[in-house]
Structure 1
């Protein structure tokens, strides 16, 4: 089964795109978002030759709790004073049935590590202004400690309070450039 996605260069629409994350904290999950996304998608006729570049403004982090957000932006975690942007650059795309496996390099706090995202095409069409749009959902897991995001206080001899694995989901919409 081959998915038909119209070829072209697309600019990420930051108003209609978001990155959600969740990580374990003690016995439950904390969820949040990064609202500041930008980037481009190059959809090739041969989807294996397509590419994606995304920039994530880490200062836009929001969990709904101001003090927690400030702590996550601090040097204990993302250190946004010195590393305000994270980047993702794809290195390969493989079609797998009704989904894609998107490999790429994720850079956070100056550390670059390979990650793989499962991507699903969610549709395309013209909006009310005549602009042509495509949509995707991507998800995966990353080890925050692999990027130097290590803040983690534990009780003496107790378990770590914040889990290392962070689940991420991106909802992306992009507009074809003329």
Structure 2
């Protein structure tokens, strides 16, 4: 695990575990050029490890088979070899390599692996603060966003439209909302 160069304010040293009940991993992608399909990944996990010096590292894992676009037929197609090939590549992972301040927010940099390909990505990270929690210890909140290109991860299915454009766009917007609890 790589430690980062910027400290996150108010985070007690230790391991903060993502509370999947109060967190979400969502995406959107252009559909038929004129609209967007939105969905979530319902199974994911991750940790934020904060050192005594305040530096932090992040590791996360997403089960790509847990995709949910509210359309079973589309979900099945996305899980197929045309897109995720979820049987061969069941997980997407993220490991941070750096974190840096950007005004009052941060940029979280790391290696993202999807579909057997690992590429560096940057997420715009908003730190929402720490709350004492409800009897189980403190919780911290974060929101992160980024745009990736599916072709960078060898998801290159072409479904061109007769009048130009494609059924599915190349750019995927990821929005991650996290509540993490400090482990005792």
Q: Please report the TM-score for the alignment, with normalisation by the length of structure 2.
A: 0.89
Partner SS, residue 123 of structure 1: strand
Work out the number of aligned pairs and report it: 176
More strand by share: 1
Conserved in 1, the CA contact under 8 Å of 2:147 and 2:174?
Answer: yes
Q: Please report the TM-score for the alignment, with normalisation by the length of structure 1.
A: 0.92
- Give the Cα separation in 2 of the matches to 1:143 and 1:88: 16
Ranges in structure 1 where 5+ consecutive residues have no aligned partner: none
Do residues 6 (structure 1) and 11 (structure 2) align? yes
Conserved in 2, the CA contact under 8 Å of 1:76 and 1:149?
Answer: yes
Conserved in 1, the CA contact under 8 Å of 2:45 and 2:62?
Answer: yes
Ranges in structure 2 where 5+ consecutive residues have no aligned partner: 1-6
- Aligned pairs for 1:1-178 within 5 A: 4-8=9-13, 9-26=15-32, 27-44=34-51, 46=53, 49-155=55-161, 158-178=164-184
- Distance change in 2, residues 1:81/1:152 (3 Å): same
- Distance change in 2, residues 1:18/1:156 (3 Å): same
**Shift, 1:164, TM fit:** 0.6
RMSD over aligned CA atoms reads: 1.7
Partner SS, residue 118 of structure 2: strand
Q: Please identify, of 95-104 and 38-47, the stretch whose mean Cα deviation from structure 2 is larger.
A: 38-47
- Give the Cα separation in 1 of the matches to 2:157 and 2:66: 19
Q: Please identify, of 122-131 and 54-63, the stretch whose mean Cα deviation from structure 2 is larger.
A: 122-131
Partner SS, residue 21 of structure 2: helix
